[in-house]
Amino acid sequence: MSAVISAMDLSQTEAFGVTIREQVNLAPYTTMKVGGPAEYFAAVNTVHELIRLVRWARAADLPYYLLGGGSNVLVSDAGMRGLVIYNRCRQVRIDEAPCCVFPQDERPFLFAESGASMAGLARRSMAAGLTGLEWAVSLPGTVGGAVVNNAGAYGGEIKDNLYNAMVMDSHGDIEEIPAAQLDFGYRSSVLKRTLPVRAGFGPVVLSANFRLALGEMAAIKATADQNLQHRRRSQPVEPSLGSTFKNPPHDFAGRLIEAAGLKGAIRGGIQVSRQHANFLINPGGVGAATAADAASLIEFIQEVVADRFGVQLEPEVQFVGEW
Ligand SMILES: Cc1cc2nc3c(=O)[nH]c(=O)nc-3n(C[C@H](O)[C@H](O)[C@H](O)COP(=O)(O)OP(=O)(O)OC[C@H]3O[C@@H](n4cnc5c(N)ncnc54)[C@H](O)[C@@H]3O)c2cc1C
């Protein structure tokens, strides 16, 4: 149970520019467009607001949960107790521009606040002639979510170019953690392993520094275009959470689901995409499906695939909130 907070206490955050609302439906804030309400909800626009709000919540003993783009979380229909912090801290900066003055051995830094769009960051770096983030040109979600998940695609991943991340730890202290200490693995990091799936008092990524190399503009653009086209060809446009399951060793979750004849399978408003079997889609959007529909379809797929091929598929998406 989260602490009971009086209206007067809630208004304290107005002093640093943050408004807390109650019972805010989270479905529109996720890419799957399902899920129930946040008990308390606040959007932050600057890292200063983010730090102040987290410190305030800790002092009020109010558990919090960081929501980035909501592109990897299945929020329960019962919603989320505590305070959901919607991260809109979006500043991005290339240090010591223009990049063309950098000698090759002094690679420029790319700074991003944790609520910046990862795809926007990739585009910004490309426009400055920097290479290394072309894989992220169409990745949904924020820098914070990508660091937590070690997001990756097309042979690239966060850990390849991340230099360090500014993190508020679970004691409320702020430190700059070198990428090597984040213990990145396949779609995981030490942060992900410590983060609660309900509101709690976990670490918060405030910002990140990437180190990129100068590249050939034409080559950067060609790689990014290729990645973008591949995504457009292979992935559905309907609301989804991207890849539902992790790929099992030496195989692909999508291949197994398709081979099990599950393309098009439906539970309530959620269905297995006919375009990419590892994607569950919500064609009707907000109000047309529930998180329970998605959970039930995930379970059904796991049963059928385990039955047919003896493989236990593990969800890549996180079940969060009050399941
Ligand atoms: C169509 C589609 C395609 C996708 N393709 C890919 C792909 O190619 N590769 C890939 O890796 N993923 C992919 N994904 C999944 C998703 O985009 C990534 O996992 C993404 O990095 C999640 O970022 P987010 O901001 O949406 O995180 P969220 O879903 O909001 O959060 C994910 C987790 O990170 C935590 N978190 C978020 N921000 C912070 C913060 N600042 N501090 C602390 N914790 C935080 C949350 O609490 C949660 O536990 C895809 C998703 C979709 C919908």
Rounded CA gap, 125 and 102, in Å?
14
The neighbour count for residue 254, using CB atoms within 10 Å, is: 20
pTM (2 d.p.)? 0.95
- CA distance linking residue 40 with residue 38, whole number of Å: 5
Distance 131 CA to ligand 1 centre (A): 22
pLDDT of residue 3: 61
| pLDDT for 98 | 42
- Token digits of residue 308: 């047919």
Annotated catalytic residue, options 39, 134, 157, 316? 316
Token pair for residue 128? 């400055």
Does 316 participate in catalysis according to the annotation?
yes
Which pLDDT score, from 0 to 100, does residue 107 have?
62
Between CA 17 and CA 176 the distance in angstroms is 26
Asked if 62 contacts 5 with a C-beta cutoff of 8 angstroms, the reply is yes
Domains along the chain with CATH numbers: 7-87 (3.30.43.10), 92-223 (3.30.465.10), 236-320 (3.90.78.10)
Pocket of ligand 1 (CB under 6 A): 31, 65-73, 87, 114, 139-142, 144-146, 148-149, 151-153, 187, 195, 204-205, 235, 240-242, 318
Residue 295, Cα to own-chain centre: how many angstroms?
19
**What token pair was written down for 251?**
């195989």
CA distance 127 to 106: 19
For residue 206, give the 3-state DSSP assignment. strand
Per DSSP bridges, beta strands 109-113 and 240-243 are unpaired
Q: Please tell me what DSSP assigns to residue 316.
A: S
Express each pLDDT in 238-279 by its tens digit: 999 999 999 999 999 999 999 999 999 999 999 999 999 999
Instruction: Name the residue with the closest Cα to ligand 1, atom 52.
Output: 242
- Give me the pLDDT at residue 106, please: 59
What does the pLDDT read at residue 7? Answer: 76
Residue 263 DSSP label: T
148 CA from centroid of ligand 1 (Å)? 8
- pLDDT beneath 70: ranges in the chain: 1-4, 96-108
pLDDT of amino acid 122: 97
Active site residue 11: no
Closest ligand 1 atom, residue 192 Cα: 49
